[in-house]
Structure 1
């Protein structure tokens, strides 16, 4: 590629980007339009759907999601109960819309999850369910699996149950809107109690040695003119508090299934000593040493991602969050049942509109909670679910990485030859040519990604520039956490590659 190519105009750039993003669907063999049989199954299920007899429509549930979301999996209600709390957490009743063994069931198992491609969402379920009858939309009568928790004054779970019930959410809140209300002191009682309980659950996470890798979120945003940009923002506090309710529910689901000796868990081994030792050395090099006197989870919560050196530490911490898998069991409880980052046994159960496995966990937990037999169709699916979910997760991760590479190349294509200030978020490592011009597995958090250095097998690292917001590989001897000056030497949208060089 010539380093002196003429930059395309905005119209040509947008067309090139749209073509490259569209090509992702073919290249990765992403699911296409829903098969007619599956759509018929979904429409018939919606037409014949009956609401549960248990009536919780008087409960003032609300939802908190990204502003544009219409596939709403969870609705929340919290009130005081003596010195503790009563929490009701409603999860979309997807199982009541999916006939076991039908066309829709087969198609959801083929997909595994909703794929969030930058040029359009590829839903796990047809929109008649995921954005209609199955979504917990405000004002709509909905069927839901309602988890009820009794919490003590420290927000520790004392009682838990789950039942199918009819609910009606009162309000659809966005994360930004909810945070603004809390900050202004105008939030209603449910939001205020979410903050109170959320903070206490964070403390419980600290006590059990749990860890959260709260990286700034990167999102590909489509602009009104058809272009794209990458938006990056630190997680809002209300997102963390809301996530704590979901984590609490996932832990309760795991405990129910372990007690009932049937189900499927999300497991992850603890980081090995070699990874911990390497991470400790990284923190020393970056000026904020972790001495091991506090848990690595507590240490990670102390980091500020807006500070370059601490952001580099968060990227390095990715090595501690490896080996996550799904563990199914029926009759013999697994010995290694812990999800180490959470510090407890855990199961996916709160996002059935967007993730296949949650549908089965909900059905199993409701049966176990109420002393009923677990349906045969759910038991029979357990051995196949880990492979389905692992394949789906790998495909989603690969799509996300390749989509980001594509958009980053488009953002930079008019800046070839320009110099930038950058932060090194992962220091230099020798490159190994795998024969296809790309190195590593293409992951974002410190691993190799598209944009390998032009010098082939020379040292290179990962840098981040602020505007446009891009991370990329850069050739040269780079030290994590340092500020450097770099030059963009090429950017290719179709190849999804950008190349930087370190300036002396």
Structure 2
């Protein structure tokens, strides 16, 4: 389903200027018992780590001559990745610098214990609950373009078709040249302006990697992505258009994650993000849905190819088919192996079409630090440290619980914003797109209201992929409950 759409670094809420009640995000914090700060011991460790000068260290190379930039949403401060791509012969060399959180978090210390409790950064529209103290995540460890930073540098060589030919990973000191945002880079691309040298080849590499992903069966849903933003009347929702440069940049992150997973599987130790490949029954169900909605499914075409070939027009049939495709991606989890535990029988990630490991967002996600440390040990030909081996079996449960919490918080924020935006309009009629029809036992279906961008339950919703008139029958900002009822045609 759509992402939470919460902004990574929103401005403080000014409060609604109209009569509409606003969503209570503090109530969400209280409901899910989110921490308001860090323990003093953890903060002290973070501040001491931030104050340490970046000096020559054994095994850390000087890579400050490499052209690197960050590309993130506007306002982001927790910058995990910096990218630089250069042409080498007929192929490419991808430099991907990742914040070296392992250099600032001491295993077994107070900060390590606290981040293991948190699991990941939790984002809300009016501020985040960070995994690490901001003195690290938004300053000393973030790959900001204000001086050298410790990083883990992936160097991945690709051939002319974008296939991997060589991989290296090691600790380094890097210097980002610029802090770019997606909209600005996309505007340059659309205007055919010259890009920063670090990303001049990103569009070409991104397209090559995306084509390879579709060929190997990667599933991209591309459902409406709800975003909670502020307007003159408080908080509202809109659909955030995903830009091509975001997809290309994401392919670089996926490239590093698939390379890391391959490295782990070869070494027999690691931590994978897993998702079963779509089974035959699910694919057959999607094919039947495509036929009902009027889409062709060419002989021999995969679900990935059919979805990738859909028009990007936001029409009711397209949105309904993309919603139906969510049944292909179920059962996500984590699999730790090594130190006596065998790799999972199916190590793949069905949404990516290949084995995959989280290693590119350590400032925001706990597991990435551990995955990175495993890859560094494997690349150096040494056995991972004992603290790492001891932690591996515990991490799947920690991350699954953290993912669940993050998802529930994001959903609660969306629900309350949707309900607050529609409060006072109960009884009004709206035109909506049916994403999922009501069930045979009377269970509500699901509909999409484009403005404001609301996805909610609907009693009596007819077949998917049509536009219908509905009445708003419930909108409760205190619980987030929104319900429409289809008007008999």
Common fold: TM-score over 0.5: yes
Match of 1:422 among 424, 428, 432: 432
Q: Looking at both structures, which has the greater relative contact order when contacts are Cα pairs under 8 Å and sequence separation is at least 6?
A: 2
SS of equivalent residue, structure 1 residue 363: helix
Contact 1:215-1:235 within 8 A present in 2 as well: no
Contact 2:261-2:357 within 8 A present in 1 as well: yes
Q: Given the alignment of the two structures, is residue 351 of structure 1 paired with residue 361 of structure 2, yes or no?
A: yes
Q: Kindly report which structure 2 residues correspond to 1:231-380, keeping only aligned pairs within 5 A, or say none.
A: 231-291=238-298, 293-305=300-312, 306-331=314-339, 332-380=342-390
Q: Give the 4+ runs in structure 1 shifted more than 6 A.
A: none
Match of 2:166 among 152, 159, 163: 159
User: For residues 102-137 of structure 1, what are the alpha-carbon distances to aligned partners after superposition, in whole Å with 9 as ceiling and x for unaligned?
Assistant: 111011111100001123111000000000000000
CA shift, 1:147, in A, is 0.2
Aligned to 1:493: 477
Gaps of 5+ in 2: 1-14
CA distance in 1, matches of 2:327, 2:207: 27
Q: Kindly report which structure 2 residues correspond to 1:193-232, keeping only aligned pairs within 5 A, or say none.
A: 193-223=201-231, 227-232=234-239
Match of 2:45 among 25, 36, 41: 41
Contact 2:81-2:97 within 8 A present in 1 as well: yes
User: For residues 236-271 of structure 1, what are the alpha-carbon distances to aligned partners after superposition, in whole Å with 9 as ceiling and x for unaligned?
Assistant: 111111111111100110111111111101111112
- Residues 13 and 303 of structure 1: is their aligned pair in 2 closer, same or farther, counting only changes over 3 Å? farther
**What is the TM-score normalised by the length of structure 2?**
0.92
CA distance in 1, matches of 2:159, 2:483: 55
CA shift, 1:224, in A, is 6.6
Aligned to 1:387: 397
Contact 1:42-1:126 within 8 A present in 2 as well: yes
SS of equivalent residue, structure 2 residue 62: coil
CA distance in 2, matches of 1:246, 1:407: 31
Match of 1:115 among 92, 102, 122: 122
CA distance in 2, matches of 1:340, 1:236: 23
Contact 2:67-2:84 within 8 A present in 1 as well: yes
CA distance in 1, matches of 2:229, 2:145: 25
Q: Out of 208-217 and 111-120, give the one that drifted further.
A: 208-217
Contact 1:216-1:235 within 8 A present in 2 as well: no
SS of equivalent residue, structure 2 residue 67: coil
CA distance in 2, matches of 1:212, 1:473: 24
Aligned to 2:466: 482
Aligned to 2:133: 126
SS of equivalent residue, structure 2 residue 334: strand
- Residues 84 and 411 of structure 1: is their aligned pair in 2 closer, same or farther, counting only changes over 3 Å? same
Contact 1:118-1:222 within 8 A present in 2 as well: no
SS of equivalent residue, structure 1 residue 132: helix
- Residues 234 and 299 of structure 1: is their aligned pair in 2 closer, same or farther, counting only changes over 3 Å? farther
CA shift, 1:22, in A, is 1.1
Q: Given the alignment of the two structures, is residue 406 of structure 1 paired with residue 416 of structure 2, yes or no?
A: yes
Contact 2:83-2:199 within 8 A present in 1 as well: no
Gaps of 5+ in 1: 1-8, 432-457
Q: Kindly report which structure 2 residues correspond to 1:20-35, keeping only aligned pairs within 5 A, or say none.
A: 20-35=24-39
Alignment RMSD (CA, Å): 1.8
CA distance in 1, matches of 2:445, 2:158: 47
CA shift, 1:196, in A, is 0.6
Contact 2:42-2:111 within 8 A present in 1 as well: yes
Q: Kindly report which structure 2 residues correspond to 1:419-498, keeping only aligned pairs within 5 A, or say none.
A: 419-430=429-440, 458-498=442-482
**What is the TM-score normalised by the length of structure 1?**
0.89
CA distance in 2, matches of 1:292, 1:17: 51
